[in-house]
A and B are shown apart, each in its own frame.
Chain A
Amino acid sequence: AQSVSQHNHHVILSEAASLELGCNYSYGGTVNLFWYVQYPGQHLQLLLKYFSGDPLVKGIKGFEAEFIKSKFSFNLRKPSVQWSDTAEYFCAVNAGFQKLVFGTGTRLLVSP
């Protein structure tokens, strides 16, 4: 079965620090990959997505992610985080029939 692993469950950073959140998936076929963000008390919002083409994708709010097929990874990065980036981040893979499989999430806390 398809699965998504997010190895960092909690990350604490100071403002202006660089961020990288890991995401690995297990699925042998063609995948569509997503990162969603959930700000405290809010619904999930799409940060970025990869369907095909350039493996380095840019998203909103300065986020980017790199798809490395050989490593089954889709890590999220941001060069300089802000306090407002405090949120829960979810990696997800669409593995057929429009079914999204989510990772367990990474809680990011950015201290001012």
Chain B
Amino acid sequence: DTAVSQTPKYLVTQMGNDKSIKCEQNLGHDTMYWYKQDSKKFLKIMFSYNNKELIINETVPNRFSPKSPDKAHLNLHINSLELGDSAVYFCASSRGSEQYFGPGTRLTVT
């Protein structure tokens, strides 16, 4: 009965590769998000989708492309991975102001 789930939990890959992270929520929320948490624990929003439409795009490189096939899913695809992409990526969902976070995906680029 996990509310917001992400796969995979850990992802180790080499520079230049393309990878995807999946997110699903079973809360019936209309809005979903991707956040990046860097090595200093700083959390910053990347994208937000409402009913499958992009509403927030926070100056993220074009190599990052979110895709929302339906309201319950928001996937993150990353092309040409770079060392600086190493971080923990959190998915979240909300109806209103309160956001519920997934367990995170720790991405390590070598």
Contact = CB atoms under 8 A, between A and B. Distances in A.
Partners in one complex: yes
Interface of A: 32, 34, 36, 38, 42-46, 49, 51, 88, 90, 94, 97-102, 104-105, 107
A88 B41 contact: yes
Interface string B53-71: 0011000000000000000
21 contacts: A34-B98, A43-B90, A43-B101, A44-B90, A44-B101, A46-B99, A49-B97, A49-B98, A88-B41, A97-B56, A98-B55, A99-B45, A99-B48, A100-B33, A102-B42, A102-B43, A102-B44, A104-B41, A104-B42, A105-B41, A107-B41
B103 A98 contact: no
A90 B43 contact: yes
